[in-house]
Amino acid sequence: MNLVRRTSPWFPSLLEEFFTRDFGIEHPTRTIDVPSVNIIEKSEGFALDLVAPGKKREDFQVEVDNHVLTISTENQSTQESTDGDYSRREFSYDAFQRSFRLPKTVDTTKIKASYDNGLLHISIPKRKEAIPEPKKYVEIK
């Protein structure tokens, strides 16, 4: 799985240092995983591939507003079990959002997306007037 990792501490470094040094408590850092994206420009448009394994098609929200393409997903789950006097409740939450500014040459009304085997593929066509015409040879008489 290709992810871009961003790490930020749970506490500012002064508090983290205080707890670790004085009490011997190690606090994990929070890691934010942002899926990798490949963007390919072709003459007829752009192809954007976002790697997000383990997701479902309905988990994604893709929207275009003012030539900004935003891809987001959010999942929450709760597991609860009780065994005699022992009870356990676990919460899980994961989310990400990626935004891309689209060039003015893009036809935002014809953007299409599909999801298959952990890969979100977005096809972003260019407007007809932005697509370069093929080379034309002029006959000399």
pLDDT band at 5 (very low <50, low <70, confident <90, very high): very low
Helix (H, G, I), strand (E, B) or coil at 76: strand
**Structural domain span for residue 4:** 1-35
136 within a domain of the structure (yes/no)? no
Long-range contacts of residues 130-136, Cβ cutoff 8 Å, at least 24 apart: 130/105, 130/106, 131/43, 131/44, 132/43
Residues 14 and 68 in one domain: no
Name the more confident of 104 and 28. 104
Q: Looking at the whole model, is its pTM more than 0.75?
A: no
pLDDT band at 18 (very low <50, low <70, confident <90, very high): low
Assign residue 88 the CATH number of its domain: 2.60.40.790
Quick one: which of 41, 62, 35, 46 has its CA closest to 119? 35
141 within a domain of the structure (yes/no)? no
Residues 7 and 42 in one domain: no
- Domain count of the chain? 2
Write the pLDDT tens digit of every residue in 73-132: 988 878 888 877 777 778 777 888 999 999 999 999 999 999 998 999 999 999 988 777
